[in-house]
Every structure is written in structure tokens, then in C-alpha cells.
Chain A
Amino acid sequence: MLKSKTFVKKTRSGGVMKIVREHYLRDDIWCGSEVCTECKQESTVLQRDACIESDLCCFPHYLIPDTNVVLHQIDVLEDPLIRNVVILQTVLQEVRHRSAPIYKRLKDILHEQEKHFYTFTNEHHRETFIEREPGESANDRNDRAIRVAVKWYSHHLEKGGSDGPKAVLITNDQGNKEKAEESDLLVYKCEEYIKSLIANPELVDRLALANDEKNDISSSKVLFPEHFPLSRIQVGIKSGTFLQGTFRASRDNYLEATVFVQGEGEDSTEVLLQGLQNLNRAIHQDVVAVQLLPREQWLAPSSVVLHDEREAKDEDATEEEEKEKAMKNIADDAARKPTGRVVGIIKRNWRPFCGMLNSSLIKESTRHLFTPADRRVPRIRIETRQASALASQRIMVAIDGWPRHSRYPNGHFVRSLGAAGDKETETEVLLLEHDVPHQDFSQAVLSFLPKMPWSITPEDMAVRQDLRALTVCSVDPPGCTDIDDALHCRTLENGNLEVGVHIADVSHFIRPGNALDLEASNRGTTVYLCGKRIDMVPELLSSNLCSLRSNVERLAFSCIWEMNNKADIVKTRFTKSVINSKASLTYAEAQLRIDDTTMNDDITNSLRGLNKLAKILKRQRIEKGALTLSSLEVRFHIDSETHDPIDLQTKELMETNSMVEEFMLLANISVAQKIYDEFSECALLRKHPAPPPSNYDILTKAAKSKGLAIHTDSAKALADSLDVAKVDGFPYFNTLLRILATRCMMQAVYFCSGMDSDFHHYGLASPIYTHFTSPIRRYSDIIVHRLLAVAIGADSTYPDLTDKHKQSALCNNLNYRHKMSQYAQRASVAFHTQLFFKSRGILNEEGFILFVRKNAIIVLIPKFGLEGTVFFDSKDKTGPKLVFDEEGPTLMVEQHTFKIFDKVKVTISLDDSNVQHQKIRMSLVDPVIPGVSVPVTEVEPPAKKPKLDC
């Protein structure tokens, strides 16, 4: 075995180093085909009957794509129709070098058994390895290697009989194709082959548009400056002429973007980009190189809200130029920001986008513009023959490229998601757009669930503390089925109180490294949408075995304190336990029990004890400078049959809410300290950085407009000044101010203690913090449980748990999933708000101005927790005279000046003229401004049940 290999040296020169590597060639690499009798392979991947109806190849065949076909046509390869494909090692390696996302997708296909994709390790096969010839470029060598491998396959498969499958090379490179034909290979261009699949014409739509000149109908006029090649960009970045950063398109203005340039430590900057030319075909999330403009050309961010709503045709750019001029801000120097232009793209971060088709005005046209749901992404031109069928559907489209003379990028159709406006479709869209993994759990994942009927075994009991006799109860929102925490409180003989927080012992069921664990760690969090929950762990665990329901025995991880009557902690201990909750209460039920003086049972007394301590804890926390901020959360009453929202109310908070919260915070802090003491290098913690002072500008300005001062030098100062900020006759002012303060905050993040030195949690005013109390719905808590279990000797450790790099990578994923789930949740609320207003018709409501923009005001309706924009300019008619003052900020419309916090009256209606971006439209009713405000509309009676045709 060892000696059977011949031996070739491969030399690779890079810089001054000469690297010599061994390269073994083998005889034991098999072809992977079912028909082969020669190879001694244990299992085969490629099928005998590899048939697909094609009028080019009417015989069974295996496709062998070259690198560029894989890179550009991955959508086609992903189609279930395309099976029996050989991916050569040469191709796989090149793809790996050139595009990480496509490499990942290719790997996923290779793992999928139904696809019958086989990797042939041609570079180590004795008969298919070739050496680079003198003068041959690396690319040419690889092309030749691919041809040699295809040749080998053709010969090899022929040995199994002439009617066996044949190897077909797919390439888009003309030169490569000709050379392949010379050596008698079967070779087709990708487009040619896909079009030959007579039975499946829809696959053509998934073809990426080739960036051929002839393929472009747009004027040959060059619209954009060229992108510099990577080599020049790298030189420029090194010398400091260019900056590298992530491109972030503006949600509100399609002609504006910023590039976030990561600097050393705090030293990050943002570069402003304005105008199509300067944006230069960069797309949201791309990594780009920018060049700063001379200082005198620097601009201030515009406050204009601008959407690209032109007809779907390529007209000349004059209109854009006008708009660009209009938004140039003649601001003083202070407001100007470093401004630049994109000179090159370092890495594209394109993903398939959800959105809708704007059908071309010409009926027979096959070219259409596609509008992504994400406003930050430009419209995409695609080619499809199914336009009429797709017109009312949500579809997915991938970008292929953006030539210099095209106003829009070119792309291709990937798949349809369903009818637009449909609740299922819209939910699917928002899950996809926020990258929320939401497929059903796979069989592999489910196989790691405990077998039913499940019960606690004597072995479990032996290593756990038996707390079944304690009066434990849980307090949660109504309808909660995944109860992950329960509490108890009792008086000890020495007069102190014993308080216990009992958390579902999820880590008992989810063992490290198995499929269930990997799935949960990828999902990171349960996502709550209106009327729908996307679980992190399968339902058997989330709603049954782990849920601490009343009157059943459940495994728990308990944190138990002994406290004196001043809520000082005398002793803390952690233990795995078995509990039997005596009651599952809602916040309201618990509140009733506490308030009802006639009740004196154990549960109620326990609740009263907890409530008393919680109040003390809360006071202590606030004295230390913890912030109580405000955000309006709305809750929908959902019709049980149609699942349509029928009413909407803002969530109200009761004393019991904060009682539970207080003990959860305490448990989290105690556990954080314990795991950090035990694992100083790899404790998973959560921090909340203090915001940079500039974040507070908007808050201080707003307060100043009411003659109040807000101190922001510390959390305590901020909390104190928010407490005293009150305006007579305006009770809602303080809440508004707190809503604004919330918007100034930074995002709290998970991190690994060995990778960071700043642990402080600003909002909670705690030096250390983590998440321990919700392991059913957060993966971070599962890791914390495992760490704590090791710390108290209740469980054994495993390699990844103590690897700080792996844990840091996990934290990044958790932070990303957490952020995305919040966005998805907001999007879901917005969608349901629209459904609600659709059924309600037009409403007149009072609201407050939250922000003032250059051409609009943003109004908050407290009753619905709804934010909307009132625009003062319109694209058709000449708008009113607008004067915007940055300092206030104030906006003068004709004679009336709008300031932040002004009370206004608006009508609210649903604008469904654009099915994709249905939006809540608000128009001004009061104050009355002639030509701007609208008369009070009679409130229409609620619309009848929506009919099917809408």
C-alpha cells in the first residue's frame, strides 16, 4: 500500500520562498459509478440510469462542469433536476479559493444523497494528474487537467460497455470547448445544455446571465467608472490612498450609502457616499475600497427620504442627477462627513434576494426588473418567460453581475415563494430575508430526542437534589408553553429567606456535538413572530420535557440563595435538581394572588416573599445606575380561526413582571461570576458597552427643545436625569424621552471572557453578566449551563467548551442570530400591523413627532406603538415650501414649524398600491396647513371579512 505510490515533486514559488511539497499519486481512487466493474469501491454515488431528457444527449451521461460553470451557475446545479455530476478536485479547489459562499453551497450539494454528486480526486490519481508545462498559465493547466479527467472518465466508462453512461464536459469557455472537441470529448456550453432539456424549460430561468456585451439591451453608453483590479486596490490600501470597508446602503435613500471602515480599537470611521457614480455598483454588504474626495467636496448626510420608483426602463440619467442635486446639503462645515467614492470591489457579498417582479411594459418582453424586498438592494434585471405567472408572486433572484453600461445589475430567477400578500408567503419571505433557519428538524436531529414515554430514572435521582417538596411555581405571559424558569421562596429557621431560581435542565437532553446540539447551536435562538414560533429545539423538548409545567416532575438546574431581609446574599449555591412545580401562573394571576389579602396558601406567601425581595433588589440596582428604558411593544389579539389580527394593544407591565425579571437578573449575575471564577479564559458572558457620547446628540437636542438637560456622562447620571425630566401637562413626555434614549444604546453582545477585557454591562450597571435563565430558547444559556455544570462537578467537560477560539466563533453566530431574530420580529409586527389596518380601514389618531427629517416627520402613535412617516413633498406636484433647520431639528412647512415631541393628529390608512411594500400611510390632519393637511375623514366602518380575490 505504502510503496505502491509513485512520487512527483511539485514546486510552488511565492515571493522569494521556494516551497517543495510532496505529491503522492494513487491507484486506489475510484470512479464512483454504478456501472463500473473495474473499481474496487465499496459504495457508488453515480447512478447507472443517469437519464435526463435532453435533445443533445439522448443517452445516460454524467456532467463534469468546469470551475466557472460552478461559480456562475450554482443555482442551476442546485436544481433537483440536475443529478449525477462529477466534481473534480481541481474544480473544488479553485472554487474554494475564489468564493467561500459558493464553496459552501457546493459542499452542501455534495453531501446531499439524492443529488448523486461525486467528488473525483483527480489531482492524486495516477492517470489523471498532469504537471504544469513550461510557459503554461495556472488556469490553462487546470483547464487541461479537467479535460484529461473527462477523457479518463470517457475511456473508463466505455469499458463497462458502449451503452453505458458517457462523460459530458460543461464549460462556457470557447477555447476550452474547442480543445475538448479536438480530443473527441463530449462538450457543451452550459446554456446550450440547459436549453436542450426539453422537458424542463423553466430551468432556463435559473441560468445566470452571461456578461456578454451582446446580451445587453441598455445603451452602450458607459454609466459607471471602472473598478480597479484587486492588485491595484491592495497597493492603494497599503499606501493609504484607499480605505477598505463594508458598504452599507441607506434604507431611506437609494442614492446614499456609508462605508464602515474598521480601525484600530475605537478608531473606526464612516465614509459617506452620495450619487450613483460614487456608489459605483456596490451592493449592500459588499466589501469595497473607497477613495476619499478632497475635503472641499465633503458633504453632510442628506435627510431626504428617496426611493427608486421609476418605471422599469433605462432612461438617461438626467433625472437622477437632478435628484442628486436636490439632496446636496448646504450645511456648515461641522456637519460635513468624510465623503468618498467606490473605486473597487474587494469581495461581493451577494445572496439570493426575495422580492417581486415589475413586469415590463412591453408585454412580450422577457426582460424584467425585479424589486428586492430589502430597500438597500437595488433593482435587478432578470430574464424570464414566466413573467405573467410570476407577477403576483414573491420570488427569489440571484445577482450575476453588474456591467459598467447597465443602470441595474443583471440576475436570474431562483425560485418562487408563493402568492404575495399571503400570510404564509410573507412569513417565509421575512424568515429568508433575515436568514432565520426554519426548516423542519431533520431525522438526524430528531433521533437524539429521548424516547417516549420518558420518566426520571433512579440514576438521575441519585445525582440530583430532590426539591420536589418545595413550593415552586412559575410566572409567565399567558399562553406560554416553553416555561424555562420557576421560583420558590421560604423562610428558614434562622429568620433568613431561601430563594431558588429553577431553570429547565436542557443540557441534560442536548449532549455536546450530536446533530441536535449542532442544529440548536446554528439556530442560536427561538424566533418569536406574531402567531408563530420558530423553535430552537424540537417541540418535544421545548413544550414538554424541558418545560417546567405544574404538577409534573422535571429536571432543573437550580440557583439557590440564602438572603436576609434586606435582600443581601448570605450564601449562594448551584445544584442539579428535580422539582415539581405547584402552579403555572400568568403575570396577572400572580398579581391577583399577591393583592388578595384573603389568600394565605404556600404559593401566595412564596410569591409575596419574592415580591418583597424583588422590590429591594430593584431599588438597589437602580441606585447603582441601572437604566429603565422604554420601548413600546405591541401585542396582537389574533383570531383563532383565520389567524388574522383583530385587535392590538401595547403590552403593559405589572409588578410581577419585574419580580420575575429581578430574580432572573440576579441568577444570571451569580452564574456569570461563578463560571468566570472557574473558567477565566472561556466563560461565555454578555456585555453591553457604553454608547459613545455622540450617540446621545439626538436625545440632548430633544430635551433641550423642552428646556431640559440630560446628563450622559454615566449610566447613573443618565438614569437620574431621565427620572427628573418631566414637563407639566405632558405626561407622555417622559416615556417619549425614554424611547429616544433606547435608540441611543448599543447592542448587548455575547463574548468569550478570554478574548476581551471589558465585561461591563452598561444598561444593568453590573460588572459581569451572562444568560443562564432561558436555555429552551437561547443557545448561549445551554453553553452557560454546561460551564456551570462542570464548575460544580455535575457534568464532564468536552474539547470545544474550553476552546476560546471556537467559543468566540460561536458567540459571533449567536450575536448574529439574535440580531436577525429581532429584525424578523419587528418585520412580523409591521406586517401584522398592516393586516390590522387593512381590516380597519381609515383611522384618525393622535401622535407625537419622534424625529424631524428634511422632507418628512416621523410620528409615533402611542395607542398602537406604531411609527409612521408623514411626507411633505411628492413627486408629481410641486410641494409646499420646506425649510429645515439641522440644529433644532425643526422643519418649517409653509407657515407651520414642526418640532420634535409636537402633538399632531393624523389619519392612518394602508397604502397597498405597491404589493411588495405595503405601507402604513399617515397624512396630517392637525395642525391644519392649507395644501398639505387633509380633511378629517369619516372613519369608515371596519371592512367586511376580506374576500378571497383580494
Chain B
Amino acid sequence: MAGLELLSDQGYRLDGRKAPELRKVQARMGVFAQADGSAYIEQGNTKALAVVYGPHEMRGSRSRTLHDRAVINCQYSMATFSTAERKRRPHGDRKSTEMSLHLKQTFEAAVMTQLYPRSQIDIYVKVLQADGGNYSVCVNAATLAVIDAGIPMRDYVCACTVGFVDETPLADLCFAEESGGGSSLALALLPRGGQIALLQMDARLHQDHLETLMEAAMTACKGVSKVLDEVVRQHLQEVSVLTGE
């Protein structure tokens, strides 16, 4: 039996997308009233929820307090029912810890933390259904939640996972593509200035391919940013109608 053909000769991927096309993105902001900010996002079949509390005073150990900026605290988790396999997911396993750390680094680069010295911002993200690109979807969800909380950021942080198959970069990988071999790269970008908030790649990739892959990732991130921007504007419109301003 032959493996999956990730990219057909006609240029279509498994799910019918062309190489640079993103999955369908749907998002909603302000899904929880009691949190300072929240957002729900669906990127294809990957679904994630992000909730933001803060900025507020430091809780717990005071020693972590920073005098010139806010501390960002991130927590990533996956719902037990999020994958095809029903696996018990202990809190704080290695993968979640790593993801949490990546998210923290990403948002430290994007949030204007210097405006809130000696305080703390909490970002909680949960993957409800996983179908590839978990990190990227979480970043996008968290961005919306942070905006919803009204915390100033330098720019949207938009993330996208890109893969490399048959010398062609594929944007926004789904799970089958992620596990189908080949190297994949996750990029979190501040699209306006083109600054990179986080770049992560575990697999081996030849140096010659890096540039094309990076370009594809940047383009994809900019595509995501357009969608997010629309979501935010839509949300603002709805809110302003409601409040009658």
C-alpha cells in the first residue's frame, strides 16, 4: 500500500487546497464575560479557546516580579477529547510545558509589557480539537483574546505552520500532512514590521530550502493576519452597535 500523496501533480493537497492556501478560519471574540479577554478560533478542524486575565498584581511568589515590565504567564493544555486517540493528558507534561514556554516567548515579544511594571498577565489556551498546527492556532487565538482584553500589543501576532513536500512549501498543515513526513516549521510573525516573534523547527532541513520555506511562512502569516484583522473589526462593530456608541 502506498502512503498518502500529499501533493498531486495537479497541485492539489489531500483536502483539496492548493499549496499556499490556508484552511478556513472562523473566530469569535469575547466568548467569556468573566474573563478580561477571550476568543475561540477554528482553523479547519483545529479548534482552540484562549482566555486572558490581567494585567493584575503579581500573585504567588513576589520574587518573580519585574520592576520595569509585566510578567507574562502562559498555560497551554489539550483537552482529553481533542485527538482521535483518547489519551490521558496529565497536567504539565513535557510537551505542554514546552508549548507554554513557546507561547510565553511569543507574547513577551509582542505585548507592550513595559506599560505594566510589577504586574502579571495570564494567558490560558486550550486545544479542544487537534488537527495540525496546534501551536499556530493557539497563538492566533491568544492574540484575539489579548486584543479583547484591551492589552496593547506592537502588532497582531500571527502564526502559521508550513511544511515542505516535493520541493514545494505547503501552508497551514493539517494533521495528515504534519504526520506524513517531511519537515515542518512554525513561525509567529508581527506582520506589519515583519519581525519574527518565534520560529520553531524540529526536523532537519537543508539550508538551501530554508529561504523558500520562510517566505511561504511569512506570506501565510500575513494571510492569517488579514483574517484576524477582519474578525477584530467585525467584533468591534458588533460591540459598538450593542453599546450604542
Which residues does chain B contribute within 8 Å of A124, judged by CB atoms? 12, 16
Query: Contacts A22-B174, A24-B15, A124-B16 known; A100 to B2 CB distance under 8 Å?
Result: yes
A121 CB–B CB distance under 8 Å: yes
A948 CB–B CB distance under 8 Å: no
Instruction: Give the interface segment out of B17-25, B114-122, B143-151, B187-195.
Output: B17-25
Contact A110 B9 (CB under 8 A): yes
Within 59-100 of A, Cβ neighbours of B (below 8 Å) are at 89, 96-97, 100
Contact B9 A119 (CB under 8 A): yes
Which residues does chain B contribute within 8 Å of A17, judged by CB atoms? 84-85
Which residues does chain A contribute within 8 Å of B12, judged by CB atoms? 121, 124
A448 CB–B CB distance under 8 Å: no
Contact A107 B206 (CB under 8 A): no
Query: Contacts A7-B24, A97-B2, A100-B2 known; A799 to B208 CB distance under 8 Å?
Result: yes
- In the complex, the chain A residue whose C-beta lies closest to that of B24 is A7
A110 to B9 CA separation, bound complex (whole angstroms): 10
Query: Contacts A124-B12, A798-B206, A799-B209 known; A22 to B45 CB distance under 8 Å?
Result: yes
Contact A20 B45 (CB under 8 A): yes
Within 105-131 of A, Cβ neighbours of B (below 8 Å) are at 107, 110, 119, 121, 123-124
Contact A25 B16 (CB under 8 A): yes
Identify which of A2, A20, A803 contacts B22 (C-beta below 8 A). Answer: A2
Query: Contacts A21-B15, A123-B16 known; A96 to B2 CB distance under 8 Å?
Result: yes
A802 CB–B CB distance under 8 Å: yes
A103 to B22 CA separation, bound complex (whole angstroms): 30
A3 to B84 CA separation, bound complex (whole angstroms): 27
Interface size on A, residues (CB 8 A): 31
A351 CB–B CB distance under 8 Å: no
A18 CB–B CB distance under 8 Å: yes
Contact B44 A121 (CB under 8 A): no
Which residues does chain B contribute within 8 Å of A123, judged by CB atoms? 16
Mark A1-37 against chain B: 1 for CB-CB distance below 8 A, else 0: 1110101000000000111111111100000000000
CB distance from B160 to the nearest CB of A (A): 13
CB distance from B184 to the nearest CB of A (A): 16
Query: Contacts A2-B22, A7-B24, A798-B208 known; A22 to B8 CB distance under 8 Å?
Result: no
Contact B24 A2 (CB under 8 A): yes
Contact B206 A20 (CB under 8 A): no
Which residues does chain B contribute within 8 Å of A97, judged by CB atoms? 1-2
Which residues does chain A contribute within 8 Å of B17, judged by CB atoms? 24
A317 to B49 CA separation, bound complex (whole angstroms): 75
Query: Contacts A22-B23, A97-B1, A124-B16 known; A119 to B10 CB distance under 8 Å?
Result: yes
Q: Count CB-based A-B contacts (< 8 Å).
A: 64
Which of A2, A7, A18, A107 gathers most chain B CB within 10 Å?
Answer: A2
Contact A3 B16 (CB under 8 A): no
Contact B24 A96 (CB under 8 A): no
Identify which of A1, A2, A121 contacts B8 (C-beta below 8 A). Answer: A121
B199 CB–A CB distance under 8 Å: no
CB distance from B112 to the nearest CB of A (A): 31
Contact A24 B16 (CB under 8 A): yes
A661 to B176 CA separation, bound complex (whole angstroms): 53
Contact B209 A121 (CB under 8 A): no
B5 CB–A CB distance under 8 Å: yes
Query: Contacts A2-B24, A107-B9, A121-B12 known; A21 to B2 CB distance under 8 Å?
Result: no
CB distance from A435 to the nearest CB of B (A): 21
B131 CB–A CB distance under 8 Å: yes
Identify which of B15, B22, B208 contacts A23 (C-beta below 8 A). Answer: B15
B14 CB–A CB distance under 8 Å: yes
Identify which of A20, A121, A802 contacts B131 (C-beta below 8 A). Answer: A20
A683 to B66 CA separation, bound complex (whole angstroms): 52
A23 to B17 CA separation, bound complex (whole angstroms): 9
Identify which of B44, B84, B209 contacts A19 (C-beta below 8 A). Answer: B84
CB distance from B227 to the nearest CB of A (A): 8
CB distance from A326 to the nearest CB of B (A): 43
What DSSP secondary structure best describes chain A's contact surface? mixed
CB distance from A797 to the nearest CB of B (A): 8
A119 to B15 CA separation, bound complex (whole angstroms): 17
Which residues does chain B contribute within 8 Å of A7, judged by CB atoms? 24
CB distance from A679 to the nearest CB of B (A): 14
A1 to B208 CA separation, bound complex (whole angstroms): 31
A798 to B207 CA separation, bound complex (whole angstroms): 8
- In the complex, the chain A residue whose C-beta lies closest to that of B14 is A21
Within 25-76 of B, Cβ neighbours of A (below 8 Å) are at 44-45
Which residues does chain A contribute within 8 Å of B206, judged by CB atoms? 797-799, 802-803
- In the complex, the chain B residue whose C-beta lies closest to that of A6 is B24
Contact A23 B176 (CB under 8 A): no
Which residues does chain A contribute within 8 Å of B15, judged by CB atoms? 21-24
Query: Contacts A19-B84, A798-B206, A799-B208 known; A96 to B5 CB distance under 8 Å?
Result: yes
CB distance from B210 to the nearest CB of A (A): 10
A697 to B21 CA separation, bound complex (whole angstroms): 65
Which residues does chain B contribute within 8 Å of A110, judged by CB atoms? 9
- In the complex, the chain A residue whose C-beta lies closest to that of B5 is A96
A123 to B209 CA separation, bound complex (whole angstroms): 31
- In the complex, the chain A residue whose C-beta lies closest to that of B206 is A799
Which residues does chain A contribute within 8 Å of B24, judged by CB atoms? 2-3, 5, 7, 24
- In the complex, the chain B residue whose C-beta lies closest to that of A96 is B2
A2 to B131 CA separation, bound complex (whole angstroms): 19
Contact B176 A21 (CB under 8 A): yes
CB distance from A130 to the nearest CB of B (A): 14
Which residues does chain A contribute within 8 Å of B22, judged by CB atoms? 2
CB distance from B125 to the nearest CB of A (A): 21
Which residues does chain A contribute within 8 Å of B10, judged by CB atoms? 89, 119, 121
A18 to B86 CA separation, bound complex (whole angstroms): 11
- In the complex, the chain B residue whose C-beta lies closest to that of A22 is B15
Contact B44 A22 (CB under 8 A): yes
A799 to B227 CA separation, bound complex (whole angstroms): 35
Minimum-distance CB pairs A-B, first 8: A799-B206, A124-B16, A24-B16, A22-B15, A17-B84, A22-B44, A121-B10, A24-B15
A19-B84, A97-B2 known, 11 other contacts, Cβ within 8 Å:
A2-B223, A2-B227, A22-B15, A22-B45, A23-B16, A24-B16, A26-B16, A119-B9, A798-B206, A799-B209, A803-B206
Q: Which residues of A contact B (CB under 8 A)?
A: 1-3, 5, 7, 17-26, 89, 96-97, 100, 103, 107, 110, 119, 121, 123-124, 797-799, 802-803
A-B contact pairs, 30 of them (CB 8 A): A2-B223, A2-B227, A3-B24, A7-B24, A17-B84, A18-B84, A19-B84, A20-B84, A21-B14, A21-B45, A21-B176, A22-B15, A22-B45, A22-B131, A23-B16, A24-B15, A24-B16, A24-B17, A24-B24, A89-B10, A96-B2, A96-B5, A119-B8, A119-B9, A119-B10, A121-B10, A121-B12, A124-B16, A799-B209, A803-B206
